[in-house]
Amino acid sequence: MSKIVVFGASGQLGSCLKKVAAERYFSDIAFPEESASNILDLPSLEKLYDTEKPQFVINCAAYTAVDKAEEDIETARKINKEGAANLAKLCQLYNSALIHVSTDFVFKGDRPKLLSEDDETDPISVYGQTKLEGELAIAEVTDKYFIIRTSWLYSEYGNNFVKTMQRLGRERDELKVIVDQVGTPTYAIDLADAILNIAFSGNDAYGTYHYSNEGAISWYDFAKSIFEVSEIDTKVIPIPTSEYITKARRPAYSVLDKTKIKETFKIEVPYWKDSLISCIHKLNALTNNS
């Protein structure tokens, strides 16, 4: 039996949870293989819940290919809504608390204001819509949930903006990056730490929370900082969203208000630049050791 079971354990956030759990010597956490933890496979899920009888379930599994979701609506909805609902139903059955990771994409993001948990949701993409449907599906079947919305995740693991910029920066002399979409990068290690703090806090203030790093920047600012910290000499050219057409629309301004999570769980949130420096130092160490 494990106190915590993590779904989506092989993804970016799942990998960060493994790392943080190991660093903090948390041993009673299970990271089951994908074959045994498919959130769309109810019989397998039931077997896993019955074996582990978890106090907490952390759901990092999601369909996150934002542009692809515009055409692959059925798959996105199955994973982001039905998968989340499956976990919530079993959490209700086994009296487990569900910690579910959601996104700033549930908001329209068309006004320059901090977004609180109580602000009206109005997604403008299939990804955002299906993630919102997942949130609503969870709330329909269980009261014991923590939904944590986050934004602009990156880390040493998986595919993300930081690693993509480093790669492209080493290949090209200049890059065009969007300047009129503003949000906050989130180091997935910091988010993993916050999630485990909630699970081990003993505080059952269930509900929806926001977590990202502190500060607000554009993708252009973020790219420039990545190159600066990485010591990559690439020129960054700011462009408007209208010059970079994608299948899915993105929120223009999605800076999350983190007051609630900080006050409820006494969580200290690092500033985005400090976390970026930490991540890039780790990426450099990995590169040098390989």
Q: Which of 25, 49, 94, 127 is catalytic?
A: 127
Q: Alpha-carbon distance 164 to 33, whole Å?
A: 27
pLDDT for 285: 86
Q: Alpha-carbon distance 238 to 290, whole Å?
A: 34
CATH of 4-160+186-215+254-270, one of 3.40.50.980, 3.30.420.40, 3.30.450.90, 3.40.50.720: 3.40.50.720
User: Which structure tokens are listed for 286?
Assistant: 């990995």
Instruction: Record the pTM.
Output: 0.97
Q: Has 127 been annotated as catalytic?
A: yes
Burial 236-271 (b: 16+ CB within 10 A, else e): bebbeeeeeeeebbbbbbbbbbbebbbeebebebbe
pLDDT for 290: 63
Q: Alpha-carbon distance 51 to 47, whole Å?
A: 6
- Of 48, 55, 43, 47, the C-alpha closest to 7 is 48
Asked whether the beta carbons of 137 and 85 are under 8 A apart, the reply is yes
Where exactly are the structural domains of the chain? Answer: 4-160+186-215+254-270
pLDDT for 36: 86
Helices 84-94 and 42-52: crossing angle in degrees, nearest 10, is 40
User: Which structure tokens are listed for 53?
Assistant: 């009888």
One digit per residue, the tens of pLDDT, for the chain of length 290 reads: 569 999 999 999 999 999 999 999 998 999 999 888 999 999 999 999 999 999 999 999 999 999 999 999 999 999 999 999 999 999 999 999 999 999 999 999 999 999 999 999 999 999 999 999 999 999 999 999 999 999 999 999 999 999 999 999 999 999 999 999 999 999 999 999 999 999 999 999 999 999 999 999 999 999 999 999 999 999 999 999 999 999 999 999 999 999 999 999 999 999 999 999 999 999 988 877 76
